[in-house]
Chains A and B, each alone.
Chain A
Amino acid sequence: VVAEAVTMARALNAALRDSLLEDPRLLVFGEDVGRMGGVFRVTDGLQAEFGIDRVFDTPISEAGIAGAAVGLAFGGWRSVVEMQFDAFSYPALEQIIDHVAKMRERTRGRVEMAITVRIPAFGGIRGKEHHSESPETYYVHTAGLKVVTPSSALDAYRLLRLAIADPDPVIVLEPKARYWSKEEGDLTTEGPRIGEGRVLRDGGTCTLFAYGAMVARCLEAAEALEAEGVGLRVVDLRSLSPLDVELIGRCARETGRAVVVHEAPRTLGLGAEVAALVMEEAFDHLEAPVARVTGWDVPYPPAALEQHYLPSVERICDAVRRTVAY
């Protein structure tokens, strides 16, 4: 099948549909996911196709949604739940941290939490407050969870399908700013697994590590710096937990320089972990300290200021230039 270009939202929709077709014990539920098809239309048409028992709206109860998924898992159901926006996932944190993440261990593997938590996340959409946050560190820091975030439509399809099929709970952070980005190609689960990153552009001077919407921005920066004779390698981390330590180490050793880019505030952001891994895995090969280009350590700003908060192509290029000149 030669597919035409699909948006990320459409690819995610296809992943849900194909998963629902494949597994009759799979349920999709959350706020406005049923008759309306989700505020970003990711669940569009699913209730009509699979019925109100398998794709359903819930009351506005994020803790209830996550907790119900736990109870359903005890009965052998698999759930894909949607938290409508990043900051609205916080009421569910107790259920996610205390139970979703730990139940497999607490029952010594007898009860698996085959739960996928979809969270439209990150900024760049001129959103109201509480609609643009980067919550990944909370989830990555919680043992028992896996955390993924796609940067493109086809990988969004792949990652969501892999997340749903995974016996462990997976948090899927969907970059809202990329929902309408298009990619051409076949929708397939073949390719990198959860736990693996992917190299999107090869280069020998420095590696840019990024995820989500920052990947496209890093590719732009790489394009811009090629004119200056700087060969940038761009790695889409995509699996934030577990991280692809092998790939991070290898790229850092081969290029000798690394810059990490994310939207989340700098302090204890994922960049700190990547920098520590680079030090552990590639210390003798490093030509410069690892640089971090991130959001600032402030609450996410209003729409009129977000271009000053999010890493820009220019900020990324500056960091690379400093790293190369070190």
Chain B
Amino acid sequence: MLDSPRVLVCHVSLTAREARVNTIPDKPESSDLTKVVLLIGMLWICVIAAAAFWWAMTAIMSNHLGLPAAIAASAIYTVLILAITQAFNRAWFGATGRTRTPAVARRDRRTMISATVYAVLLLAVIFLRVVHPLQGVLAYALAVLPALPVLGMAWAIGLYLREETDEFERAVCVENALWATGATLSLATIWGFAEMLADAPHVPGWLWFPVWALSTSIADIFTRRRYR
């Protein structure tokens, strides 16, 4: 392996020491199983939270508890989902054994701001539609509003790629994004045909961004495994 005699000396004289050095974990990466459990656990918590929210909204509607109760339930659900996302993000980062770089901290802050704005805008537009249904161009303009912070989340990833000084982490992020894009496009195409030709249930278009985001986490497991 070593062509240079100078390097060969290092190799021979320090093998034992090197072996000791190489066994010291700086910040151990969790097993792939732990990551999968973390991912599935987060998904289940989100599903349970969504089901609880659905149940609460149904109860509010059927008992005619009014708009303030619906807004309160929505606000609690939003804060809960944001907290779950933030906790998962931190746990996931810890599981990969990485240190949070300033670029990562900025990306997370931008993502959380976008997610908060998204939740507020989405709820506001939904309630506005219920209270005062709009038509035409104004309806389109309002419908586009919640999509803008989602684009903000994509923009946060773009900025991260520009600001991250660790080229390996940039490469991993790009690889994850490419795999996730391929997987999401494939899934969307397959599901589209299944809807058209096999009466599969309709999946709303806005769901594909969360699918993409989830796919990046799944891709991360495989990408890091390959570089280990």
Report if A and B associate in a common complex.
Answer: no
Q: Show the binding face of A for B, using Cβ within 8 Å.
A: none
